[in-house]
Structure 1
Amino acid sequence: MKTLEHIPLNGELPSPKGVALAILELCRKDDATIAEVARIAQTDPALASRLIRQANSAAHGGGRPVASVTEAIMRLGMGTVRNLALGFSLVDQYQNGPCGQFDYQGFWSHSLLMGLAMQKFSNMTGAGASEELFACGLLAQVGRLSLATVYPVEYGRLLDGQDGVARNLVALEQEHLQTDHNELTAALLGEWGIPGALIEPIYHHEEPEHSGFSTGSRPYQLVHLFYLARRVADLGLAGENERNACTAELLLLGGRIGLDAEQLGATVDDLVQQWRTWGELLRVPASALPSFAHMSAAHAMRDEKSDGAAALRVLLVDDDPTTRCMMEGVLSGALGHAVVCANNGREALALAVETQPQIVVTDWMMPGMDGLDLARALRATEWGQTMYLIMLTGHENEDEVSEAFEAGVDDFLVKPVNVRTLRARLRAARHYVQLLEAWERDRAQLKQFAAELAISNRRLAHAAMTDLLTNLPNRRSGMNALAKAWAASSRFEQPLSVMMLDIDHFKRINDSHGHAVGDTVLRDVAQAIQQSARKDDSMCRMGGEEFLVICPNTDLKAAVQAAERLRRMVERLRIQAGETEIQTSVSIGVATREVGMTETDALVNAADRALYRAKQAGRNRSCVVVQGQMRCFP
């Protein structure tokens, strides 16, 4: 992520002023005290009352109420007070601004609800300090305010041209302003002293699935909590027609943190009440909302109207044209189902293969293949086992009904069919179809989870065996590779050689140019090792500036040639460190497996002694050990 110095900006960014700025500057001093911060905060009655209110919030578990600013700061902590003062200062200053298309009041209303939601959910999950995360939620979109402040005209045009999707807005911002609101938010929060462990989740919170955080890690938990808090804020500002999608997604997201529908509803209702109270305190609009239960019930009712009966595919089977015509008219006309018809059981079986109906309504008595034979034939197939079968019968005999259920029928109707009864039966059939579809979705999701878990396990296995800086195998992986090469050498009586190499004067590079340049040198040397290595060679970073190259089926002469080739390649490297060009070199110790070596440690120790001798001899050279004798090249 970029810092402010690397982001192209024209104009003055939003910044705290007055008391908030004084608190921010004071908290940057190592010797700042609570008493000093309290003295400054008390000069702003509005800020003082807000800090006391926050200290007395439900997040503290109903402890003894505080009545003074000093007690509030002691309870909240100086870092949290700094962040809260920063957020409240920006809210007070930027109630409106120069960008006509930017909704300043709506922005702060959304930000306030997001902050409150972040406080609530972090307190419920134990993800972090709830007051600190309240401030982070309040400022999670401050980059948008900044762009509206710095580029009022240009940003107004972008807001007119985007469709409300965050990802599209980010692309437009990057295209026209060479930065985006997430990047600017992260840079500003870093400038204001927000910890990096919180900035990264904020940066990725609009698309948490693309954050790259390891599943189950604290950043992964935080980025999904920020997304959940944002969706709650979206619900707060959504119109009546937009609430459907919000409530449906919130039910899913709430389940991921262990909240059922009732618990989530109570939490959201409580958040809306806090939002309205805080809105009055900060002079930020916060509208009244229906209860979450009411909104989600309205969502369910709309779903039932929009895709209920019409979504069902019905196969109607009856040999009587009059009955068939009447039933088809009721099913397709009055009830709105998609209906296909068959005259007999054999025709119905062929149509069932072709159309895969969800419901089959069949007469019992038909020539050729009757209703029972059709039911048995359908249940004998894998795809027919999931269909809902309703049998039409002229009389209600217990023995016949029992026989029908044993044949696989799910329900029955007595002719002549009553429309109201048929509607009730189909409502039960629809419920069955919905459960079946939900089960199929859950099964598909479980398969997806299993696949994602397998991928995560492979990633974890790779990470456990990889050096993060150079992307080479780490020492543990290298020792495993050496053990395998040793076993192959013993089995097939093949030679085995290793090279231990060390970057010359690496401490001097770190001291002169800094650790960032030292890391660049390590990466470039690691890349040279990979390029120089042969197809069957293995390499790893042993630690620090030391590397090991394992050369299976390689005698001493070939190993020395490989070492010299690698040494010359590193010697030719030119590494840029700002205006300075760095030239480096390596010393290499080479050893081959000899009679009397009984384990891999003996081979590695021999190469290590040769490396020590190469350094003693002046560095930038290769040294071999043979029968205890040392020889250096060139």
Structure 2
Amino acid sequence: MTSKMLAEKVNTLFSLPDVALRVNELLNEDTCNNADLVAVIQHDPALTAKLLKIVNSAYFGFSGKIDTISRAVTMIGQKSLRNLVVATTVTESFKGIPEHLVDMNTFWYHSVTSGVLARLLAKLCHRQDCERFFIAGLLHSIGKLVFFSVYPKQSALILSLKDQGEAVMTAKEKETFGFSHAELGTELLKQWKLPATIWAMIASQLDPFKSTESVDDACILYIAAHIADKIEPCAKQEIDFEEPELDYDAPVFRHLQLNEDNLAPLIQEASFQAFDILSFMRPQASVIF
């Protein structure tokens, strides 16, 4: 079975809510306008409330209060609003994942932190459409959740190799399934009709210099996930957003000209933004802070 075949097989099990799928469909149409998006979103009062909370949070930092979805889409744009819809609904798509394989609060903590870091890095590196980096960071590991759900025994074996590093675990994924979680996640995002500017980063996250779309974008996602790994909470360590130990001589850091001076304040800012986003998306995960 290929990664595409598995993604198609589980698409009904791990599908975005209808409102998110409809918003994606609208954005893929040339005739989409703000009124169309607003009409779809406002049919879901709970989603509307979450979106307005995020738009008014430190994540965007607007000075005045934004109290309608119509105003929100005017301020942040259609693509950014679509990304927020996906972000606030995606946690509903992954339920029933075996608890002995993953703590979902920690998983979403890591994912949100990766997304916030990727967005801030994209701004620092002057990339276009920085909001897409948040979604790429948020969704970069969803392929693992599919593996955990569909193949729990094999996944447990792969997780037992965690101390040997991500590269060893990825190699075991390919040996076991024929493809990695990155390849599987990419195919699932294609099923959700997310744009290539998002899923291409996830496709090359494990080896960014082999990206066929944008090496810069892939390096940003790689670094964001790498930093999030180093500040990820666990039961045996205190959470500390002080600058983690990083190898600034590594090729990905040199490629983007990143160093301690420009990354340290960015990591601090990520802590505040990640808390804000988690408190709206998954409140139970925000208590990790």
Q: TM-score range by the shorter chain?
A: 0.7 to 0.9
Q: How does 1:15-414 map to 2 (within 5 A)?
A: 15-56=15-56, 62=62, 64-94=64-94, 96-98=96-98, 100-163=100-163, 165-209=165-209, 211=210, 219-237=214-232, 240=237, 247-249=244-246, 257-258=256-257, 260-282=259-281, 283-286=283-286, 287-288=288-289
Does the aligned pair in 1 maintain the 2:136–2:201 contact within 8 Å? Answer: no
- TM-aligned CA deviation for residue 284 of structure 1: 4.8
- TM-aligned CA deviation for residue 91 of structure 1: 1.4
- TM-aligned CA deviation for residue 169 of structure 1: 1.8
Does the aligned pair in 1 maintain the 2:97–2:145 contact within 8 Å? Answer: no
Letter in 2 for 1:32: C
- TM-aligned CA deviation for residue 102 of structure 1: 2.5
Seen in structure 2, the aligned counterparts of structure 1 residues 235 and 95 have a Cα distance that, compared at 3 Å, is: farther
Seen in structure 2, the aligned counterparts of structure 1 residues 164 and 196 have a Cα distance that, compared at 3 Å, is: farther
Does the aligned pair in 1 maintain the 2:106–2:233 contact within 8 Å? Answer: no
Does the aligned pair in 1 maintain the 2:53–2:280 contact within 8 Å? Answer: no
- Of Structure 1 and Structure 2, the greater helix share is in 2
The 1-side partners of 2:190 and 2:11 are apart by: 19
The 2-side partners of 1:237 and 1:14 are apart by: 25
The alignment's C-alpha RMSD in Å is 3.3
Seen in structure 2, the aligned counterparts of structure 1 residues 8 and 86 have a Cα distance that, compared at 3 Å, is: closer
Seen in structure 2, the aligned counterparts of structure 1 residues 150 and 99 have a Cα distance that, compared at 3 Å, is: farther
Gaps spanning 5+ residues in structure 1: where?
A: 289-634
1:173-200 deviations in Å (ceiling 9; x for gaps): 2222233201111112222233324433
- TM-aligned CA deviation for residue 250 of structure 1: 5.9
1:403-453 deviations in Å (ceiling 9; x for gaps): xxxxxxxxxxxxxxxxxxxxxxxxxxxxxxxxxxxxxxxxxxxxxxxxxxx
- TM-aligned CA deviation for residue 109 of structure 1: 1.1
The 1-side partners of 2:71 and 2:220 are apart by: 29
Does the aligned pair in 1 maintain the 2:7–2:191 contact within 8 Å? Answer: no
Does the aligned pair in 1 maintain the 2:83–2:135 contact within 8 Å? Answer: yes
Seen in structure 2, the aligned counterparts of structure 1 residues 33 and 206 have a Cα distance that, compared at 3 Å, is: same
- Of Structure 1 and Structure 2, the greater strand share is in 1
The 2-side partners of 1:197 and 1:87 are apart by: 16
Seen in structure 2, the aligned counterparts of structure 1 residues 250 and 117 have a Cα distance that, compared at 3 Å, is: farther
The 2-side partners of 1:190 and 1:20 are apart by: 14
Normalised to the residue count of structure 1, the TM-score between the two structures is 0.39
Seen in structure 2, the aligned counterparts of structure 1 residues 39 and 242 have a Cα distance that, compared at 3 Å, is: closer
Seen in structure 2, the aligned counterparts of structure 1 residues 149 and 128 have a Cα distance that, compared at 3 Å, is: farther
1:466-494 deviations in Å (ceiling 9; x for gaps): xxxxxxxxxxxxxxxxxxxxxxxxxxxxx
The 1-side partners of 2:121 and 2:11 are apart by: 36
Does the aligned pair in 1 maintain the 2:16–2:89 contact within 8 Å? Answer: yes
Does the aligned pair in 1 maintain the 2:141–2:181 contact within 8 Å? Answer: yes
The 1-side partners of 2:149 and 2:270 are apart by: 29
Does the aligned pair in 2 maintain the 1:14–1:149 contact within 8 Å? Answer: no
Does the aligned pair in 2 maintain the 1:114–1:233 contact within 8 Å? Answer: yes
Letter in 1 for 2:37: V
- TM-aligned CA deviation for residue 219 of structure 1: 1.0
1:25-76 deviations in Å (ceiling 9; x for gaps): 4444443332222122123334223433444466767465432111212333
The 1-side partners of 2:139 and 2:211 are apart by: 23
The 2-side partners of 1:179 and 1:52 are apart by: 39
The 1-side partners of 2:142 and 2:123 are apart by: 23
SS in 2 for 1:116: helix
Does the aligned pair in 2 maintain the 1:99–1:152 contact within 8 Å? Answer: no
SS in 2 for 1:32: coil
The 1-side partners of 2:126 and 2:6 are apart by: 35
SS in 1 for 2:214: helix
The 2-side partners of 1:178 and 1:256 are apart by: 30
Does the aligned pair in 2 maintain the 1:204–1:223 contact within 8 Å? Answer: yes
Greater relative CO (CA pairs within 8 A, separation 6+): 2
SS in 1 for 2:246: helix
Does the aligned pair in 2 maintain the 1:56–1:62 contact within 8 Å? Answer: yes
Structure with greater Cα Rg? 1
- TM-aligned CA deviation for residue 263 of structure 1: 4.0
The 1-side partners of 2:211 and 2:119 are apart by: 24
- TM-aligned CA deviation for residue 274 of structure 1: 1.6
SS in 2 for 1:265: helix
The 1-side partners of 2:52 and 2:189 are apart by: 24
Q: How does 1:583-594 map to 2 (within 5 A)?
A: none
SS in 1 for 2:270: helix
1:281-316 deviations in Å (ceiling 9; x for gaps): 12252434xxxxxxxxxxxxxxxxxxxxxxxxxxxx
Does the aligned pair in 1 maintain the 2:15–2:192 contact within 8 Å? Answer: no
Identical counterparts, % of pairs: 22
SS in 2 for 1:248: coil
Does the aligned pair in 2 maintain the 1:109–1:279 contact within 8 Å? Answer: yes
Counting matched residue pairs gives: 280
The 1-side partners of 2:95 and 2:273 are apart by: 20
Letter in 1 for 2:216: Q
- Structure 1 stretches of at least 4 aligned residues deviating more than 6 Å after TM superposition: none
Does the aligned pair in 2 maintain the 1:119–1:133 contact within 8 Å? Answer: yes
- TM-aligned CA deviation for residue 16 of structure 1: 0.8
Letter in 2 for 1:281: F
1:609-634 deviations in Å (ceiling 9; x for gaps): xxxxxxxxxxxxxxxxxxxxxxxxxx
Letter in 1 for 2:40: I
- TM-aligned CA deviation for residue 144 of structure 1: 0.9
Greater CA deviation, 59-68 or 169-178?
59-68
Does the aligned pair in 2 maintain the 1:142–1:181 contact within 8 Å? Answer: yes
